[in-house]
Amino acid sequence: MHRRLAYQILLILFISITRVCAADENYARSVVKVMAFYGKDKQGKDLCGLSTGFVYNQANTVVTTLHSIAGANSIIVRSEITGIMFRAKPLKVLKNADLVLLQLNTDSRLPALHSANVSSNSHETFRIWGYPLDVATMQGDNITFLSSLNNAPVLNEIIGTSTYQNLIKEINAEGYPALNTQIERVSAIQPGHSGSPIFNSLGQVIGIADGGIAGGYARINWAIKAEPYLNDLLASNQNVTGISKSSLNELYSMELTNKPDDVFTPNIVIRDRYNQKMVKTWVKSLAELINSLPTNEDDARNAFKHYQNDYKLDIEDIQIQVYENFETGFTLAVPVGSKFYLDDKSGYFVIESDYEKEYYLMNTSKNFDSLVNRADAFDKYFELLDDWILPAGAYSEYTKKEDYYRIGRDLRSSDNKVLLNVRADVYHNFLDARATIRDSKLRNGANPNTSYVLDVLDRINKSNLPKLIQQ
């Protein structure tokens, strides 16, 4: 299980905000948002996968990536230009290139795009358009190809090593994409932009964004060549029925949830009481996260060594899910096996392990006093949950300076069964707060693969603060 989860770092990806250039607005009009619905979660919210597509061949057909809609109960395509939403169903598939042609229930009123061939080692600058990370409006950016010694690079040149052997087994089991599929190695792209067209200066599609490693930040990403594969897609007679949601869908797609009464405007997985959202970007091993710590985080590294030696932790095997807020850059590292969700009562993010719950609030504002008030409200919420007692000699602090405010308290319940630790820091324009509620009896018997790791992961989460304060 751990080995399989390790390969969930491969996500379907895609790009950042730039200005809209008048020259490419015309062909960007044919780019659409694709939403694949997979039923409902435990809270009754629709499960949805987000990708990008483009009108191709005819005004009522759209191309996107197969993995992004595989197994969907229903598919909705939305044009930002016309504001119209269409029901869609698979018309043709080309598994070896991970492509699907969707048929809309009516004419899109958008011009069908055309394709062209280009060298995979071209030094030109191209243009990519799509919907990364559930952005409200379409985004475009310049994109370039990374060089390859092979004039016709294939997917196996990226993932054809022992590092990705389990991934290769899953791809072979699913039957797509083929490892010998011709690709274009492309520069930075991000989750949610699967199926985005890459345009040349004439507005012709020369590639379709498909996948990448480590959320796109490793600069190991690829697109499917438009030619010959778009022509092959139109000519394909492969069976379009019985395509189930696959492991590749889980590995690549961007998971979203929607309110039942708002199914056409997907929301990012988790959004807190202040309307801030956290997006799951990748899964890394604990060892990888330790190596990614800033050079000034020696205390965190030493703490990891302590836990590793005392509790015999296999830091290569322990997998950590990384969630990010793309507006602030703040991250939360959540051990696989722990739960991460939004608490309905408090509206705060929660990481729950086998013996404790940790509540998080991260907030930015130019108004320092507003952040102080939110820190106080955070502290007050947990104070009212029980009849807490401050043990003799326990830690308690309320410190306020011109541009800094801290709350720190260690409490226990009157029956001595539950411990509460509250920490809240306001640094000029950023609030970082955490409250930990744990069962006192289980403190010494907890599973170190979750509970003890959480304590040290807080160091990683806090290592983002200096960067945020400078913004």
In a domain, 47, yes or no: yes
Q: Residue 143: beta bridge partners?
A: 126
Cβ–Cβ < 8 Å for 203, 28 = no
Q: Which residue in 111, 122, 144, 119 sits closest to 25, CA to CA?
A: 111
pLDDT of res. 261: 29
CATH number at residue 151: 2.40.10.120
* 221 plus 342 within the same structural domain: no
* 426 plus 341 within the same structural domain: yes
* 136 plus 170 within the same structural domain: yes
Alpha-carbon gap, residue 270 to 334, rounded angstroms: 14
Alpha-carbon gap, residue 126 to 178, rounded angstroms: 25
Q: How many CB atoms lie within 10 A of CB 281?
A: 23
**Per residue of the chain (471 residues), what is the pLDDT tens digit?**
333 333 332 332 322 222 334 445 688 999 999 988 887 766 666 677 888 999 999 999 999 999 889 888 899 999 998 889 999 999 999 999 999 999 999 999 999 999 999 999 898 999 999 988 777 788 888 888 888 888 888 988 877 765 566 667 777 777 788 889 999 988 767 777 789 999 999 999 999 998 876 555 456 788 999 999 999 999 999 988 877 765 555 444 444 443 222 222 233 356 667 777 777 766 667 777 676 665 555 666 676 677 677 666 677 777 777 777 656 667 777 877 788 888 888 889 888 877 788 898 888 888 889 999 999 999 999 989 888 888 877 778 899 888 899 999 988 888 888 889 999 999 878 888 999 888 766 544 444 444 445 544 554 444 443 333 222
In a domain, 213, yes or no: yes
* 230 plus 282 within the same structural domain: no
| 3-state secondary structure (DSSP) of residue 308 | helix
In a domain, 102, yes or no: yes
Cβ–Cβ < 8 Å for 363, 374 = yes
Alpha-carbon gap, residue 64 to 238, rounded angstroms: 16
Report CA-CA distances (Å) from 334 to 321, 449, 453, 460.
Answer: 5, 11, 9, 11
Last residue of a domain, one of 200, 231, 260: 260
* 183 plus 325 within the same structural domain: no
* 251 plus 356 within the same structural domain: no
pLDDT of res. 97: 94
In a domain, 400, yes or no: yes
Q: Tokens 């400078």 identify what position?
A: 470
Q: Which residue in 356, 358, 415, 409 sits closest to 383, CA to CA?
A: 409
Last residue of a domain, one of 236, 260, 284: 260
Alpha-carbon gap, residue 22 to 16, rounded angstroms: 18
In a domain, 345, yes or no: yes
* 360 plus 241 within the same structural domain: no
* 195 plus 158 within the same structural domain: yes
Alpha-carbon gap, residue 264 to 234, rounded angstroms: 28
Range of the domain at 32: 2-260
- What is the tally of structural domains in the chain? 2
Cβ–Cβ < 8 Å for 216, 209 = no
pLDDT of res. 136: 78
Q: What is the dihedral of CA 92, 94, 95, 99, to 10 degrees?
A: -90
Alpha-carbon gap, residue 263 to 123, rounded angstroms: 42
Alpha-carbon gap, residue 225 to 210, rounded angstroms: 10
In a domain, 358, yes or no: yes
* 34 plus 79 within the same structural domain: yes
- For 203, list phi and psi in degrees, rounded to 5: 80, 15
Q: Which ranges of 120-164 does DSSP label H, i.e. alpha helix?
A: 156-159
* 192 plus 300 within the same structural domain: no
* 55 plus 160 within the same structural domain: yes
* 297 plus 201 within the same structural domain: no
In a domain, 265, yes or no: no
In a domain, 205, yes or no: yes
Report CA-CA distances (Å) from 464 to 63, 315, 328, 340, 452.
Answer: 39, 22, 10, 19, 21
Report CA-CA distances (Å) from 237 to 95, 101, 246, 345.
Answer: 11, 12, 21, 52
Last residue of a domain, one of 260, 280, 307: 260
pLDDT of res. 287: 74
